[in-house]
Amino acid sequence: MSESSDTTAEPRVVTTQADFRAATDAARAAGHTVGLVPTMGYLHDGHASLMRAAAAECDFVVATIFVNPLQFAADEDLDSYPTDIAADTALAKAQGVKLLFIPDTDEMYRQPPVTAVTISGTITSGFEGGSRPTHFSGVATVVAKLFSLTGPCRAYFGEKDYQQLIMIRTMVEDLSIPVEVVGCPIVREHDGLAMSSRNSYLTESQRAAAPVVNRALRAGVAAIEAGERSADAVRALMAELVNAEPEANLDYIDVARAHDLEPIDPLSGELRLLAAVKIGIPRLIDNLGTTIPA
């Protein structure tokens, strides 16, 4: 039995950078390929899908659980972010994870942190970057640190955070980091809502309203596939659907070039439709892709 197929053993839990680095170095020294799944915990089926993808392709799967303070603004939910380490450990075990790295903030960063990684340009300035100006520097800093600690590996990220995925791929290329970044499909609830740890904040009425985000994106894709080539028209169609939902407060909804999120009009080539909508406490993000053949 390969290491990646054994789901009977409890994952080893480490809390220090030194122990984590030693474990991944030892796995590679033994001839194993390493798969990394970075998370902030409160795991769900979306995270499980990343772990399963890693286990299918790598010998030694490691996951990290760290609620990274650098990616939260002062008015966001750092102090109330949901946690359940026991449930997270059980889920990780069931997917074949061999090592869990669960550091605290003092272990990850000198206090206060004095080094940050920043990715400039349109990849981070729009969409989430426009609404949360410090967010992507916080994400890039913690991911760069986790990559440094893990060493050469394959790292698995969900496409729900599509802008984050593009940013991390750019960082890895620009800094020549020996990590292969693997994007995995969004895992959804039965009604299309993208799975997220923050969905637990939704009340019953808000949960009923939440699928409007995905419906609007699907309407945009359908319009493009029916021949619409005006970005303004697609944007207006999607926004109208979201704004018709009383529980929804639209942040942005748009269509962009898929590989760098640059605006494009008329629409052509590989595209990504992205949305952020606040419903109650959580700010729900989602995206869909489509391609216009040459």
**210-243 confidence digits (pLDDT tens):** 999 999 999 999 999 999 999 999 999 999 999 9
The burial class, CB within 10 Å (0-12 / 13-18 / 19+), for 4 is buried
Domains and CATH numbers, the chain: 7-184 (3.40.50.620), 197-292 (3.30.1300.10)
Is the pTM here over 0.85, yes or no?
yes
Confidence of residue 8 (pLDDT cuts 50, 70, 90): confident
The answer to whether 83 and 42 are in contact (CB under 8 A) is yes
Q: Which of 54-58, 73-77, 224-228 has the lowest mean pLDDT?
A: 73-77
Spot the catalytic one: 32, 44, 47, 135: 47
List, in sequence order, every residue forming a beta bridge with 181; answer none if it has no partner: 155
Q: What is the pLDDT of residue 29?
A: 98
Residues 6+ apart with CB under 8 A from 118: 136, 137, 140
Q: Alpha helix (H) ranges present in the chain?
A: 17-29, 45-57, 85-94, 105-108, 122-125, 128-131, 135-150, 162-175, 204-209, 212-225, 231-243
Given a cut of 50, whether residue 4 has pLDDT beyond it is no
Residue 190 bears catalytic tag:
no
pLDDT tens per residue across span 170-197: 999 999 999 999 999 999 999 999 999 9
